[in-house]
Amino acid sequence: MFIYVNGEIVNKEAAVISPFDHGYLYGMGLFETFRIYDGHPFLLDNHLERLNMGLEVLNIQKRFTREEVKDALKHLLDANGFTNAYIRLNVSAGVGEVGLQVEPYQKPNVLIFAKPLQEAGEMAEKKAVLLKLKRNTPEGLTRLKSHHYMNNILAKREIGSTPDVEGIFLTEEGHIAEGIVSNIFWRKGKTLYTPAVETGILNGITRQFIIQAAKGLEMDVEEGFFRPTEVFTADEIFVTNSIQEIVPILEYEGHQMPGKSGPIVQKLHQIYRESSVVLWSIE
C-alpha cells in the first residue's frame, strides 16, 4: 500500500514522522474522512472547508484547495490501483519543542491514506443503543474533527466490536448528542429531527447534506435539544457518516423500527447515491 506524505507517494513502511510532532505529543492535528466513488471525491469542497476552518483554530498555517487535493488523490489512487476508496486526510501540527506552543505551526505534516472499498451498494441496517458514557464537551468553542478520540474509543469499548450496533451518546444534561462515529436523525410525520450543533456534536458533512436533501423533499427540519424518550415515537431513525453513508436503524433501545424499509430513508438514499459521483459541494 502507498501513502501520500508531504507531497510524495511512498510505501507505507517508509511513511514516518518525528516523535517531536505536536500531533503526537499533544494531539494537535485534524483529519477528514471521505469516500471516492468511481474516482470522484464526494463533497470534497465541504470537507476541505471544515478542515481549513479547524486549521485556523489550531493555529496551523496550512490551507487546502480542491485542485491541490484532487491532484494528490489522483496520484495516490493511481499508485494503489483504487477506483472506489476510503480516504483519510490527516494534518498534524509538525515538529516543535517539548512544551505547549503559542506560536503558529508553520510546517505541518500532511498524510493521506487510502483503503479500497467495494462499489456502493444497498444500505446496511444497525441497532442503536444508548451509551452510559456521556459525550465529552468540545475542547474549544466548537467540536473539531481532531486527534482527540479517547471519548469515542471508550464508547466503542462499551458496546464491543459488533459491527451492526451503533452507540448513541447523551450529553451530560441528558440530551441526545450523536453516535460514536455518526450523526443521528429521526422522522415523525413530515418533520426530520436531529440534535443541534450547540449540543457539542460534530457538524458532519453528511449531516449537512441530509438536512439540505430533506428540505428539498419539502420536509421540515428541526435541530434542537431532545431527550432520548422523544425518539421512541419516531417513524424512522437513521445515522450518517461519510464512509457508511446513510444507515437505517432497525431497533432503538429495544423499540422496533422500519430500518431500510422506511420511505424517507429510501428517498434520501436515492438522492445520496445519485449525488455521490458528481457533487463537489452541498447545493
**Residue 22 contacts by C-beta under 8 Å, 6 or more apart in sequence?**
28, 29, 92, 93, 94, 95, 96, 101, 105
First to last CA, the chain: 35
Specify the 3-state DSSP secondary structure of 234.
coil
User: Which of 116, 144, 174 is where one domain is finished?
Assistant: 116
Residue at 191 is within a domain: yes
Phi and psi for 260 in degrees, rounded to 5?
A: -75, -5
How many helices and strands (H and E) does the chain possess?
Answer: 6, 15
Measured CA to CA, the distance from residue 206 to residue 33 in angstroms comes to: 11
- Is 120:246 a contact under the CB 8 Å cutoff? no
Measured CA to CA, the distance from residue 114 to residue 85 in angstroms comes to: 6
pTM, whole model, 2 decimals?
0.96
**Per-residue pLDDT reduced to its tens digit, 64-82:** 999 999 999 999 999 999 9
Together in a domain, 97 and 151:
no
Can you give the pLDDT at residue 87? 98
Cα torsion through 183, 185, 191, 197, rounded to 10 = -30
- Is 79:112 a contact under the CB 8 Å cutoff? no
Together in a domain, 48 and 180:
no
Measured CA to CA, the distance from residue 74 to residue 40 in angstroms comes to: 10
Q: Which position has the grid cell 494503489?
A: 80
Cα torsion through 228, 144, 150, 241, rounded to 10 = 60
Together in a domain, 111 and 134:
no
Q: Which helix (H) or strand (E) holds 52?
A: helix 44-57
Report, as ranges of residue numbers, the positions in the chain whose pLDDT lies below 50: none
Can you give the pLDDT at residue 68? 97
Specify the 3-state DSSP secondary structure of 102.
coil
User: Which of 116, 146, 176 is where one domain is finished?
Assistant: 116
Q: Write the CA distances from 124 to 13, 53, 164, 212, integer angstroms.
A: 34, 32, 8, 22
**Residue 112 contacts by C-beta under 8 Å, 6 or more apart in sequence?**
3, 4, 72, 73, 76, 87, 88, 89, 90
Specify the 3-state DSSP secondary structure of 203.
coil
**Per-residue pLDDT reduced to its tens digit, 103-148:** 999 999 999 999 999 988 889 999 999 999 999 999 999 999 999 9
User: In CATH, what number is assigned to the domain containing residue 251?
Assistant: 3.20.10.10
User: Which of 58, 82, 116 is where one domain is finished?
Assistant: 116
Together in a domain, 112 and 187:
no
Residue at 280 is within a domain: no
Residue at 153 is within a domain: yes
Split into its structural domains, the chain has a count of 2
Can you give the pLDDT at residue 283? 77
Can you give the pLDDT at residue 121? 87
> What is the residue-wise DSSP string for 28-51?
-EEEEEEEEETTEETTHHHHHHHH
Residue 79: domain span:
2-116
